[in-house]
């Protein structure tokens, strides 16, 4: 969930193995691992978190998303199936 909106739905195995939404990808990049040789690229979302009482128009992540483009600020992406049993609300996947 991003600012109270579901942005991705999948089984926990699929979500951890292949996050599709940029917000989920950023969250998963912050998960610590016990594997000392595991090297993950940490995704840092820049900017301030928008007010959840008055969320931004369009995708809730767009003010901070590193992959945003024009449609993200204009309308809210629908939750669509990106793979069997895995749905995400992102225009990049549609």
Sorted by where each begins, the domain ranges of the chain are 8-93
| pTM (2 d.p.) | 0.88
The mean pLDDT value for 53-71 works out to 95
Q: Is residue 77 very low, low, confident or very high in pLDDT (cuts 50, 70, 90)?
A: very high
Model confidence band, residue 82 (pLDDT cutoffs 50, 70, 90): confident
Residue 66's alpha-carbon distances to 13, 87, 94, in angstroms, are 25, 20, 18
Q: Is 18 exposed, middle or buried (0-12, 13-18, 19+ CB in 10 A)?
A: middle
Structure confidence by residue, pLDDT tens digits, 4-61: 999 999 999 999 999 999 999 999 988 877 776 777 788 999 999 999 999 999 999 9
């Amino acid at each position: 969930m991003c600012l109270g909106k579901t942005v991705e739905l999948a089984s926990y195995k699929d979500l951890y193995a292949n996050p599709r939404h940029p917000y989920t990808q950023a969250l998963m990049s912050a998960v610590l691992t016990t594997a000392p040789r595991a090297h993950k690229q940490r995704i840092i979302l820049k900017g301030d978190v928008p007010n959840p009482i008055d969320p931004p128009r369009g995708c809730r992540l767009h003010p901070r998303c590193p992959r945003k483009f024009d449609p993200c600020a204009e309308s809210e992406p629908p939750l669509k199936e990106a793979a069997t049993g895995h749905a995400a609300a992102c225009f990049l996947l549609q």
